[in-house]
Amino acid sequence: MFPIDIDFSRLKEVLIYDPQAPMIFSSGIFLWLFAAFMVVYVLLQHKYTARILFVTLFSYYFYYKSSGTYFFLLAIVTVCDFLLAQLMYRTEGYWKRKGLVTLSLGVNLGLLAYFKYTNFLGGIIASLMGGEFTALDIFLPVGISFFTFQSLSYTIDVYRKEIQPLTSLLDYAFYVSFFPQLVAGPIVRARDFIPQIRKPLFVSQEMFGRGIFLILSGLFKKAIISDYISINFVERIFDNPTLYSGVENLMGVYGYALQIYCDFSGYSDMAIGIALLLGFHFNLNFNSPYKSASITEFWRRWHISLSSWLKDYLYISLGGNRKGKIRQYLNLIITMFLGGLWHGASWNFVLWGTFHGVALAMHKIWMTITGRRKGEQSHGWRRVFGIIITFHFVCFCWIFFRNADFQNSVDMLGQIFTTFRPQLFPQLLEGYWKVFALMLLGFLLHFAPDSWENAVCRGVIRLPFVGKAVLMVALIYLVIQMKSSEIQPFIYFQF
């Protein structure tokens, strides 16, 4: 036996919100909290209401650790949309139902507009009127774009009579706040998630193994590939593109394409994996998007929960393809314009979204001219050529997505097309060999056949519990090594 000395003051600092270190899945403190959470979760496996309440409270605490006291916004959205859905279900009049769903849109989009777009819109209005605008000090709560869209999907589905509203506020709070997908998605539809809430807790060997695999692969993509190449290479290029040659700028763009994919998809993989460990199924959110041979296929593979949300609740609401070809092309551009604005209150996001909208419209025109059917895929060298073109178009758009300053994007493109200097590549490779090794590994894994990933996943599933435990310990050790400053100061073991 050995005494344990706990520094409670440091423990308190770790458990309260720190704006400099919001909690995410790859943080060391989350692993400790999640381990304790799982113990209680398993003990409550046969207590449905108690388990749902416990997970909801933990989810609110998780959001508090991510955004501080702004967790009350989550409660406002939850209560408002729960009550509005109840009223809609009991209301028969068309205009009354229309008014209720409009009120839900007003609450959700109003919160989103205030916290995310007040300064952006204020600057635009001031410039149009020839005045000056002083930006307000408005904190942007983490994940507000995700939980407002998720809650909106519920009220819109109730309005369309595609689902019946929940009768329990606790169940709805559980759905909106479920912590695996709360702050960074995927956006989970009510129709997919709500039927799972009151089911008996069951985690099969296949679910457990797949969950471990997704957590491991997600952590590798986000915490190793994405973070490393971002800090050690990509940020340097994008911060000062004119200091580097064209070949260095091009490699920076390729690096960012990999970084943003590994960051977004890695977090989604971890969210889906954690949900599986808790007995819940989420749909696939990223499906090797750089394998796409067209921009339309890219948006079927990239951030699938967001692209499908935009299609079902925005594109279709605008008329979709039901009002003629010209209107369809315009609807695509409007949808992607607003999709770009959803990513952030800045002209660079608007431009990025507009580029993609125009590309989608042009692809639809090309499909009409060539007589190709929807969903028909090319093969052989034609597909290879399509993948190369699509990837480079996406990379071109990433330049404007990443650079908040339009001039930086112009400078970067200018360096690539006028000061390329390919003879510098060997020197670049020698100086950043670790970065390029990770980039090569990341792209090889991304473009590898799906059967390879499925084979590795099946291997993890077949491992005995001890083998899975070893993988989990290795995962925890890796994260502790990376985030050791978060967890070591508040507990000491004295031998």
Question: What DSSP letter does each residue of 277-294 carry, written as one string?
Answer: HTT---------GGG-SS
Cis-peptide into 186, omega within 30 deg? yes
Identify whether 446 is a catalytic site residue. no
The residues pairing with 493 across neighbouring beta strands, listed in sequence order, are: 4
Rounded-to-integer distance, Cα 140 and Cα 111, Å: 10
Would you call 495 helix, strand, or coil by DSSP?
coil
Q: Is residue 355 within 8 Å of 363, Cβ to Cβ?
A: no
> What is the residue type of 61?
Y
CA distances from 244 to 405, 413, 418, 425 (A): 17, 12, 12, 12
Q: Is residue 73 within 8 Å of 110, Cβ to Cβ?
A: no
Q: Which helix (H) or strand (E) holds 6?
A: strand 4-6
Q: Is residue 239 within 8 Å of 385, Cβ to Cβ?
A: no
Q: Is residue 249 within 8 Å of 267, Cβ to Cβ?
A: no
The one catalytic residue among 343, 363, 379, 392: 343
Active site residues: 343
